[in-house]
Amino acid sequence: MRTILSIAGSDCCANAGIQQDIKTIIKFNCQFVNVITAVTSQDNNHVTHIHSIPDRHITAQLNTIAANKIIHAVKIG
């Protein structure tokens, strides 16, 4: 099974971001791993707040995944 890494934000209403990537990657019968870059408060029409994840934490997420998984593809954004 191929492993796909998604690097993106998290959308609380699941209309975009990591939540949509999960659905798509699983649909193609691949394993999903992710790095969260931001957490948003949004709906279909408005983004009301964005909390960026600190760079050092993003790096830590990437390093942890790289130490434990073989990544076959990366999806950004």
What's this model's pTM, rounded to 2 decimal places? 0.88
The pLDDT value recorded for residue 13 is: 83
Which contiguous run of DSSP H or E holds residue 58? helix 55-68
Say what the pLDDT of residue 16 is. Answer: 83
DSSP 45: S
Per-residue pLDDT of the chain (77 residues), as tens digits, is 999 999 999 988 888 889 999 999 999 999 999 999 999 998 889 999 999 999 999 999 999 999 999 999 999 98
Q: What is the pLDDT of residue 6?
A: 97
List Cβ neighbours of 17 (8 Å cut-off, separation of 6 or more). Answer: 8, 9, 10, 11, 40
Per this entry, what is the length of the chain? 77
